[in-house]
Structure 1
């Protein structure tokens, strides 16, 4: 069950939406309301919002694995000053709000951790995004004055990023992929020919440039460890480009990656944001950040070596 919608009746007019969800759906509705899963049309609604008769209330639920808080502690902080916070994002968690949950993301958990530590709720904003399955360096602003410069650095290619990926097959020693990038007719991300860059798609969006450089770091029997440098920041860019090379990332089932590897069942792509260099948003001096791979990637590499 992903979502349930129903019309607010005259009997429920003026009641808190959370109470209505709990009455209609029991404990599942109550928890969904607490986690931010209530919607009126395209607008998220608080559990305390008073209902208006005739409105359509939607209650959104998480995937089958249920609600999950990002497994972070203060030890996940890589770097921090008055304006910038950098954390080591674990794999298999969302960085921001999802349609069914506002409480379990990296952003929400870090806000709670800093509130307990400092006694004051922080003002945090994500400077960029990492996929659900991707681990590693995630940058947040702590002050409004840092937010725009950080986002500009990522948008304009001033942030130099290095990723590690464990992929299948035999990738070239070096590769430089330049393609178009946009959504397919079904809404999923896909690559386009360079000649299509700038073309307007049926959804009104344009095909945009996607550019990634790859370097082979270690070749195994039928898999490899590669370093990826994305020179643009398109959604799923590294995953799509490695799949285009015929070497999808292990665990990346969406783009053809193998999910059973060396006795392990992988539930997310083995992709890690390992290194980042960018100008500090206030004083401009270069920040050079490093983050070791998570234990799962190290375990897979060790088994592939054997």
Structure 2
């Protein structure tokens, strides 16, 4: 190519080269100002008052999760698991070590194989079931789980849970320092720390922002002590309501005496709110973590026995039926560890 043509081509290239669409900021110090602001906001997050996850929990929890995944993939709901059923609801006794979603996934197959379910739904054969979990339980928590059969019933029942009109009872076997009162109500904050773990926060921090954009929410649980080291006769919940109770409003970190005598404590819990890991967190804060609950300082080995799950059971749910309006109480049979502990009290 002649030199003149080459120069013209280069000139043409530079004349039509597109200009960059972005511009560099003229005031670079604004960037450092924002970083400083973010740094200050990090320092203003509320401080969790319960301990971080123990190092031992990481490997144990991973192993438990893998085992639960295998069991859940094979899980099938049986008639003996069903506690209550009508054309709007089905309540089941979830086994420990099974994920809630696996139970939900097994319901259609169970309903299709059940003559009784066919009878209940014969008027709605043309419409597909719209199954929803009305409540969720932790992987290793057993007990009452309610599944609704339509969007309408699901929204009504979820509203009942949100408004705290559903009464819940749990039973837990704990190891730690025995409380002085037979009845304790604890009020605190609840939220995720900057590391993503659920923690107890001060009751005064409710409403404050947390890392990740969430806020500290209120959390309240009442505990009834059923037995300590196999002694002390338990009362029915209605009788225990009449007793004086000790109210703990969380404002500072719990002080735990690691050298204190470890007692075996059977408790019944009445959670008012429904926060994730609520009972487990409150047991930890009060100094009697649930046996086997390694995530919240529960013992992994006790008296020569290794525990592959925490001992927490959703005992009952009481609520007004979302369609009929009648009061409904659904109760699950106690697991062996709870029934054996209560049996000792009657001997």
Task: State the TM-score, normalizing by the size of structure 2.
Answer: 0.64
Among residues 132, 153, 158, which one is paired with 2:165 in the alignment? Answer: 158
Among residues 277, 298, 303, which one is paired with 1:257 in the alignment? Answer: 298
- Contact preservation (8 Å) 1:91, 1:135: yes
In 2, Cα distance between equivalents of 1:112 and 1:76: 14
Among residues 112, 129, 134, which one is paired with 1:127 in the alignment? Answer: 134
In 1, Cα distance between equivalents of 2:65 and 2:228: 36
- Contact preservation (8 Å) 1:114, 1:122: no
In 2, Cα distance between equivalents of 1:257 and 1:271: 12
SS of equivalent to 2:87: coil
Among residues 162, 167, 176, which one is paired with 2:174 in the alignment? Answer: 167
Aligned partner of 1:281 in structure 2 is 322
Deviation at 1:225, TM superposition (A): 0.6
- Structure 1 residues 133 and 63 mapped into 2: Cα distance closer, same or farther (>3 Å)? closer
Aligned partner of 1:295 in structure 2 is 336
Bigger Rg over Cα: 2
Deviation at 1:122, TM superposition (A): 3.9
- Contact preservation (8 Å) 1:251, 1:258: yes
Aligned partner of 1:199 in structure 2 is 208
Deviation at 1:183, TM superposition (A): 0.2
Query: What's the C-alpha RMSD, in Å, of the aligned pairs?
Result: 2.3
SS of equivalent to 1:268: coil
- Contact preservation (8 Å) 1:262, 1:300: no
The question of 1:68 aligning with 2:75 is answered no
Deviation at 1:192, TM superposition (A): 0.4
Report the structure, 1 or 2, having the larger helix content.
2
Post-superposition CA distance 1:204-227 (Å, at most 9, x none):
101000000001011117111101
- Contact preservation (8 Å) 2:184, 2:224: yes
The question of 1:211 aligning with 2:220 is answered yes
- Contact preservation (8 Å) 2:191, 2:198: yes
Report the structure, 1 or 2, having the larger strand content.
1
SS of equivalent to 2:159: helix
SS of equivalent to 1:114: helix
SS of equivalent to 1:150: helix
The question of 1:180 aligning with 2:194 is answered no
In 2, Cα distance between equivalents of 1:292 and 1:241: 24
Aligned partner of 2:154 in structure 1 is 147
Deviation at 1:185, TM superposition (A): 1.0
Deviation at 1:284, TM superposition (A): 1.6
- Contact preservation (8 Å) 2:71, 2:97: no
The question of 1:110 aligning with 2:117 is answered no
Among residues 234, 244, 253, which one is paired with 2:285 in the alignment? Answer: 244
- Contact preservation (8 Å) 2:313, 2:334: yes
The question of 1:89 aligning with 2:94 is answered yes
Deviation at 1:275, TM superposition (A): 1.5
Task: State the TM-score, normalizing by the size of structure 1.
Answer: 0.72
How do residues 42-81 of structure 1 correspond to structure 2 at under 5 angstroms? 63-65=65-67, 67-69=70-72, 70=75, 72-81=77-86
Q: Which deviates the most, 125-134 or 213-222?
A: 213-222
Question: Structure with the greater relative contact order (CA < 8 A, sep ≥ 6): 1 or 2?
Answer: 2
Post-superposition CA distance 1:90-134 (Å, at most 9, x none):
1111101xxxxxxxx111122221122257774311001110011
Gaps of 5+ in 1: 1-61, 97-104
Aligned partner of 1:28 in structure 2 is none
